[in-house]
């Protein structure tokens, strides 16, 4: 442009006039767009996001922003606190709060006037979720979703919790009350709130302060973990602790491979009870997220991809250990369900199926939890008639006229039945005086009719974003299933998923793996668990197929993992890179519903160290375990997935490798 301005001739004049005209048009267009943007109200910005969860809130009267600098710039510019609402697509109580509060014009007016509101999909931004969850759990003693946090314009939290009703109730303050009070305090004493927030951040950073890694690994921590599992074990119904009960597949995988029969028995008993319970979908297969009761009968009905992958893996390992066909059967049913209902035609797996759906095809009324999966007595009669088939189903699945979902604490399941295995085939044969062949035919006929009736209902919504880490879990499990069950179609599915993720979510030129993908659009850059889980899937696939390209891809990912997330001082992996935008850089060894990056990394590094004869990988695995063992010395039950590989590292020291 400078060169053109220095050359003065008729062509230059023409160009300059054109440029001036173009600039005027651009300025006019920008002004028009700006004015149009200012005229928009509510959560319209979320309609531009890739996350299906964020898009659900685009028509709220709340002026939502996605997580990002635009929201915090506005907060700093207007000197307003930030309200951060964190949830996910299949979260029942997230939908309740959206319906009660975020669709409420009065509450929206309070949020819009006094706060800058940010909506976060925890599955897309696990880093944001983890940092604010640390705050909520530390300050309130419990956490969950939806998560509601108020923060300074710098993002430092000063108040938070989970679900809040619009008005005080259920032992909780109401959103109207909270917003009015916080707005008043912020306007009157902002310095006091900022000091509170800074103290909270300092406390959380102190809790994450460095530890001295173990110099040697012994069997003390695995033994302590086994004792801790035994202390919390429910010997009658399986599982650990009281309700609500989660599948906790990392614990089951550790116990199955612990080498102690007592631990194996705990895991097998738990798997048996889950497979017989309502947490397991008796008609279509697949595992629900957790059980509201201690008997595994009444679940929260969302189905998460990570549960399908990890729980199926636990059943596969149980089959490998026992050669009992029951465990192979459940594993097949879970994998077949995932391939049927959660699989994109291009190869990846969707994140989840919702717990809530419409009761009627005309979509009148709000969505209800579990309405797709549960049965009233009238629905059962409509599907099977009033004779022997209904009686059989009632006996088989524990269904009654009054409904069997008695553990539902809020009564939302009143009058509904959740199918579970109340009687096995032998008991049914005795009760109905049938031979085994006739009993099998009747059972199959009842199941077929119930499934047909259920599939005629409005379907549950699908969160169709494809998350890299969870697809990595599924690649590992499918590859294992292909080999253990002699099912080439599982190996083929694992191969297709690996190809899809590497093609669509990995930028090979930049060396960047993305967290999520939806309908041709990449989401946000990945986190350490994405690199580790996908690398483990590729290594497992190589073991099954011998395809060397998979080993090379795994090494590529692990080298990126080490370059971006490795803690050179203590060992182990951070969740985020060093240039994270957050006030807390998470580094966790604890398994939850998903697996800790540090546990997955230990598995992957050990396998790659052996397969690629790379001593540095093995050394990094030891250093990761030594740091994690020091961090969780008093609660090793929190890191069962890492402990599976502990014996391989016990006789090493930091000087042995790399």
Q: Is the pLDDT of residue 192 over 80?
A: yes
Q: Is the pLDDT of residue 403 over 60?
A: yes
Give the orientation angle of helix 305-322 with respect to helix 249-256, to 10 degrees: 20
Residue 165: how many other CB atoms lie within 10 Å: 17
Q: Is the pLDDT of residue 19 over 50?
A: no
d(CA 550, CA 553) in angstroms, rounded, equals: 5
Structure tokens given for 76? 């700093």
The residue among 312, 366, 374, 372 whose CA lies nearest residue 337 is 312
SS (H, E, C) 143-203: CCCCEEEEECCCCCEEEEECCCCCCCECCECCHHHHHHHHHHHHHHCHHHHHHHHHHHHHH
Higher-scoring residue by pLDDT: 8, 433: 433
My answer on whether 62 and 174 are in the same domain is: yes
The residue among 300, 302, 172 whose CA lies nearest residue 244 is 300
pLDDT of residue 625: 97
My answer on whether 50 and 13 are in the same domain is: no
Confidence of residue 17 (pLDDT cuts 50, 70, 90): very low
* Helix H or strand E encompassing 35: helix 10-39
Structure tokens given for 34? 């700006």
For 128-153, how does the pLDDT look when each residue is reduced to its tens digit (9 = 90+)? 999 999 999 999 888 999 999 999 99
Domain annotation covers residue 497: no
Structure tokens given for 597? 């990056």
Q: Which of 405-414, 426-435, 440-449, 499-508 has the lowest mean pLDDT?
A: 405-414
CA distances from 90 to 10, 296, 355, 613 (A): 65, 20, 6, 43
Report DSSP letters for 270-316, one per residue. HHHHHHHSTTB-TTT--B-SEESSTTS-SEE--EEHHHHHHHHHHHH
Q: What is the largest CA-CA distance in the chain?
A: 105
Domain annotation covers residue 64: yes
Q: What is the mean pLDDT of residues 63-83?
A: 97
My answer on whether 93 and 193 are in the same domain is: yes
Q: Which domain holds residue 402?
A: 373-456
My answer on whether 19 and 66 are in the same domain is: no
Q: What is the mean pLDDT of the chain?
A: 91
My answer on whether 51 and 163 are in the same domain is: yes
Number of domains in the chain: 3
Percent helix, strand, coil in the chain, to 5, is 55, 10, 35
Contact 608, 540 (CB under 8 A): no
Contact 537, 471 (CB under 8 A): yes
pLDDT of residue 645: 97
My answer on whether 14 and 65 are in the same domain is: no
> Percentage of residues in the chain with pLDDT exceeding 90?
83
Last residue of a domain, one of 403, 436, 456: 456
d(CA 566, CA 576) in angstroms, rounded, equals: 10
For 171-189, how does the pLDDT look when each residue is reduced to its tens digit (9 = 90+)? 889 999 999 999 999 999 9
My answer on whether 21 and 150 are in the same domain is: no
Q: What is the mean pLDDT of residues 452-463?
A: 95
SS (H, E, C) 566-633: ECCCCCCECCCCCCCCCCCCCCCCCCCCCCCHHHHHHHHHHHHHHHCCCHHHHHHHHHHHHHHHHHCC
Count the helices and strands in the chain (H runs, E runs): 26, 17
pLDDT of residue 580: 83
Contact 160, 132 (CB under 8 A): yes
For residue 304, what are the β-bridge partners? 352
My answer on whether 437 and 403 are in the same domain is: yes
Domain annotation covers residue 186: yes
d(CA 166, CA 31) in angstroms, rounded, equals: 38
The residue among 491, 473, 492 whose CA lies nearest residue 481 is 491
pLDDT of residue 615: 84
Give the phi and the psi of residue 65 in degrees, each rounded to 5.
Answer: -120, 150
Residue 602 CA from chain centroid, whole number = 21
Domain annotation covers residue 604: no
Last residue of a domain, one of 173, 189, 207: 207
SS (H, E, C) 516-566: EEECCEECCECCHHHHHHHHHHHHHHHHHHCCHHHHHHHHHHHHHHHHHHE
My answer on whether 16 and 115 are in the same domain is: no
- The reported pTM is 0.91
Residue 76 CA from chain centroid, whole number = 32
Contact 460, 372 (CB under 8 A): yes
Q: How many Cα neighbours within 13 Å face the side chain of 295?
A: 13
pLDDT of residue 27: 37
Last residue of a domain, one of 456, 484, 511: 456
Q: Is the pLDDT of residue 21 over 70?
A: no
Q: What is the mean pLDDT of residues 618-623?
A: 96
My answer on whether 31 and 107 are in the same domain is: no
Structure tokens given for 499? 């190809």
Q: Is the pLDDT of residue 558 over 80?
A: yes
Q: What is the mean pLDDT of residues 177-205?
A: 94
pLDDT of residue 34: 43
Structure tokens given for 409? 């604490």
Domain annotation covers residue 223: no
Domain annotation covers residue 429: yes
For 504-557, how does the pLDDT look when each residue is reduced to its tens digit (9 = 90+)? 999 999 999 999 999 999 999 999 999 999 999 999 999 999 999 999 999 999
Structure tokens given for 364? 């009148």
Q: Is the pLDDT of residue 37 over 60?
A: no
My answer on whether 25 and 97 are in the same domain is: no
For 570-594, how does the pLDDT look when each residue is reduced to its tens digit (9 = 90+)? 999 999 998 888 888 899 999 999 9
Residue 83 is part of a domain; what is its CATH number?
3.40.30.10
Contact 245, 294 (CB under 8 A): yes
Q: In what order do the strands lie in the sheet with 466-467?
A: 466-467, 516-518, 521-522
Structure tokens given for 281? 């979908």
For 297-349, how does the pLDDT look when each residue is reduced to its tens digit (9 = 90+)? 999 999 999 999 999 999 999 999 999 999 999 999 999 999 999 999 999 99
pLDDT of residue 16: 40
Domain annotation covers residue 630: no
My answer on whether 83 and 21 are in the same domain is: no
Confidence of residue 1 (pLDDT cuts 50, 70, 90): very low
> Alpha-carbon dihedral of residues 564, 565, 567, 571, nearest 10 degrees?
-120
Domain annotation covers residue 59: yes
Q: CA 96, 41, 64: angle at the middle one, nearest 5?
A: 50
């Amino acid at each position: 442009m400078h060169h053109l301005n220095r050359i003065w001739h008729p062509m230059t004049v023409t160009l300059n006039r054109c440029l001036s005209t173009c600039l005027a048009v651009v300025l006019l267009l920008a002004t028009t767009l700006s004015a149009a943007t200012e005229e928009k109200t509510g959560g319209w910005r979320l309609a531009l996001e890739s996350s299906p969860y964020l898009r659900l809130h685009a028509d709220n009267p709340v002026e939502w922003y996605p997580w990002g600098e635009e929201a915090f710039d506005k907060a700093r510019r207007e000197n307003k606190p930030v309200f951060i609402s964190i949830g996910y697509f299949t979260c029942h109580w997230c939908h309740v709060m959206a319906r009660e509060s975020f669709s409420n014009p009065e509450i929206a007016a309070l949020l819009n006037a006094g706060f800058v509101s940010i909506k976060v999909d925890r599955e897309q931004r696990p880093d944001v979720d983890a940092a604010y969850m640390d705050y909520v759990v530390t300050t309130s003693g419990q956490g969950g979703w939806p998560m509601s946090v108020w923060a300074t314009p710098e993002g430092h939290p000063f108040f938070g919790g989970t679900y809040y009703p619009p008005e005080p109730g259920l032992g909780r303050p109401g959103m109207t009350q909270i917003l009015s009070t916080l707005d008043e305090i912020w306007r009157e004493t902002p310095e006091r709130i900022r000091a509170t927030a800074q103290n909270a951040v300092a406390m959380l950073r102190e809790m994450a302060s460095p530890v001295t890694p173990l110099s040697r690994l012994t069997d003390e921590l695995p033994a302590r973990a086994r004792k801790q599992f035994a202390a919390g074990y429910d010997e009658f119904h399986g599982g650990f602790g009281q309700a609500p009960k989660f599948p906790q597949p990392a614990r089951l995988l550790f116990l199955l491979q612990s080498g102690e029969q007592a631990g194996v028995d705990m895991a097998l008993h738990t798997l048996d009870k889950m497979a017989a319970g309502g947490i397991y979908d008796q008609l279509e297969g697949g595992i629900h997220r957790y059980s509201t009761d201690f008997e595994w009968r009444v679940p929260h009905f969302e189905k998460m991809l990570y549960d399908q992958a990890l729980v199926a893996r636990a059943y596969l390992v149980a089959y490998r250990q026992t050669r009992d066909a029951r465990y192979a059967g459940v594993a097949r049913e879970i994998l077949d369900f995932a391939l049927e209902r959660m699989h994109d035609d291009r190869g990846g797996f969707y994140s989840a199926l919702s717990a809530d759906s419409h009761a009627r095809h005309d979509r009148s009324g709000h969505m209800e939890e579990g309405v797709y999966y549960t049965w009233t007595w009238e629905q059962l009669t409509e599907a099977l008639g009033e004779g022997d088939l209904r009686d059989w189903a009632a006996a088989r699945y524990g269904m009654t006229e009054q409904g069997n979902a008695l553990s539902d604490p809020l009564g939302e399941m009143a009058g509904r039945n959740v199918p579970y295995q109340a009687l096995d085939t032998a008991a049914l044969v005795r009760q109905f005086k049938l031979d085994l062949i006739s009993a099998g035919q009747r059972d199959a006929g009842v199941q077929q009719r119930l499934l047909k009736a259920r599939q005629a209902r409005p379907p549950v919504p699908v969160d169709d974003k494809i998350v890299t880490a969870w697809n990595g879990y599924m690649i590992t499990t499918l590859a294992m299933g292909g080999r253990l069950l002699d099912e080439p179609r599982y190996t083929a599915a694992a191969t297709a998923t690996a190809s899809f993720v590497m093609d669509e979510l990995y930028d090979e030129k930049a060396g960047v793996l993305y967290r999520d993908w939806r309908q041709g659009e990449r989401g946000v850059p990945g986190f350490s668990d994405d690199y580790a889980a996908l690398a483990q899937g590729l290594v497992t696939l190589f073991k099954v197929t011998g395809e060397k390209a998979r080993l090379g891809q795994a090494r590529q990912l692990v080298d990126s993992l080490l370059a971006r997330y490795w803690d050179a001082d203590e060992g182990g992996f951070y969740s985020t890179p060093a240039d994270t935008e957050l006030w807390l850089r998470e580094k966790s060894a604890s398994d939850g519903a998903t697996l800790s990056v540090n546990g997955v990394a230990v598995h992957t590094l050990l396998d790659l160290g052996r397969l690629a004869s790379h001593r540095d990988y093995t050394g990094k695995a030891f250093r990761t375990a030594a740091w994690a063992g020091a961090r969780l010395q008093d609660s090793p039950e929190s890191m069962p997935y890492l402990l599976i590989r502990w014996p391989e590292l016990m006789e090493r020291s930091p000087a042995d490798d790399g």
